[in-house]
C-alpha cells in the first residue's frame, strides 16, 4: 500500500472519529473567535463570544448579539438595535451553523489529511474536506482536531462567494451541565420585538 493510500485511509478514519464524537455528544460549550474575510470587505470582520449546543439546540452570545434556538423557535437579539427577531427555526443548507457542520462532518465531504501540528503544546491533525457534490454550501472546509480526542479547535470554511470564515474554539467543555433556560429566550422590556413566525 502506497503512502497516499495510507494518508487517505487515515483521513477517512479521522473524519469518521470526528463525526462519531460530535454525533455522540450530549452537549458542548466553548469560547470562540470568528474572523470573516472577503475581497469585497474593506477590512476583516472579527468578533468573539461563547457557544453552547445540544443537538440542534444552541445559544451563541457575542458582545452585540444573542442567538438562541430550542430546535423549534429562533430568537435573534441585537442589543445595539434594541431589537429581537423571533422566527421558526429551520436547519437548512442555506444557513451556516457551526454546530450542524460539526455534527454532519462525515456525510457530505471527502477528507484529506494535510499533516499534524502543535497548537498550545497539543498535537492536532489538519484535515481538508472537499464537498462530494455541489449541493453543499462550501467550496472547502479545513479543520484542526486534537489528536488525543478528535475535538475540533479550529474550522475554516470558504463559501462559493469566496467569503472565508475562521472559527477558533477554546475553553471547550464536553457534556457540560446546562441550565434549563439556556435554549429559550425572553425579550427584555423596552426592545422592539419582530415576530416572523407563521
pLDDT computed for residue 104 by the predictor: 66
Model pLDDT, residue 103: 64
Position of cell 463559501? Answer: 159
Domain span including residue 125: 3-195
Number of domains, the chain: 1
Domain of 149, CATH number, reads 2.50.20.10
The pLDDT value given to residue 106: 64
Distance CA 138, CA 94 (A): 10
- Please tell me the predicted confidence (pLDDT) of residue 94: 44
End-to-end CA distance of the chain: 57
Q: Measuring CA to CA, which residue among 51, 50, 53, 47 is closest to residue 34?
A: 47
* Beta strands in the chain, from DSSP E residues, in sequence order: 28-37, 45-54, 57-62, 65-69, 73-78, 83-88, 109-119, 122-131, 138-146, 152-159, 164-174, 192-195
Q: What is the pLDDT of residue 151?
A: 92
pTM: 0.83
Parts of the chain with a pLDDT under 50 = 1-6, 93-94
Residues forming a β-bridge with 61? 50, 66
pLDDT in the model for residue 4: 46
- Rounded Cα distance, 43 and 35, in Å: 10
pLDDT at 10: 81
Which residues, at least 6 apart from 122, have a Cβ–Cβ distance to it below 8 Å? 146, 147, 148
**What is the structure's pLDDT at 2?**
46
Supply the DSSP symbol for 176: -
Amino acid at each position: 500500500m502506497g503512502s497516499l493510500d495510507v494518508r487517505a485511509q487515515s483521513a477517512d478514519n479521522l473524519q469518521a472519529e470526528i463525526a462519531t464524537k460530535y454525533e455522540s455528544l450530549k452537549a458542548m460549550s466553548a469560547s470562540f473567535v470568528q474572523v470573516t474575510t472577503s475581497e469585497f470587505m474593506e477590512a476583516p470582520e472579527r468578533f468573539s463570544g461563547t457557544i453552547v449546543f445540544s443537538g440542534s439546540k444552541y445559544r451563541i452570545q457575542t458582545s452585540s448579539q444573542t442567538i438562541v434556538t430550542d430546535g423549534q423557535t429562533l430568537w435573534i437579539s441585537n442589543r445595539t438595535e434594541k431589537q429581537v427577531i423571533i422566527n421558526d427555526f429551520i436547519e437548512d443548507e442555506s444557513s451556516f451553523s457551526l454546530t450542524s457542520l460539526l455534527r454532519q462532518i462525515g456525510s457530505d465531504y471527502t477528507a484529506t489529511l494535510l499533516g499534524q501540528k502543535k497548537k498550545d503544546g497539543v498535537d492536532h491533525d489538519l484535515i481538508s474536506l472537499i464537498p462530494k457534490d455541489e449541493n453543499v454550501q462550501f467550496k472547502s472546509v479545513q479543520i484542526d482536531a486534537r489528536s488525543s480526542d478528535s475535538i475540533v479547535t479550529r474550522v475554516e470554511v470558504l463559501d462559493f462567494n469566496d467569503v472565508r470564515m475562521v472559527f477558533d474554539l477554546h475553553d471547550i467543555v464536553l457534556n457540560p451541565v446546562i441550565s434549563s433556560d439556556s435554549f429559550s429566550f425572553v425579550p427584555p422590556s423596552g426592545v422592539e420585538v419582530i415576530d416572523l413566525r407563521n
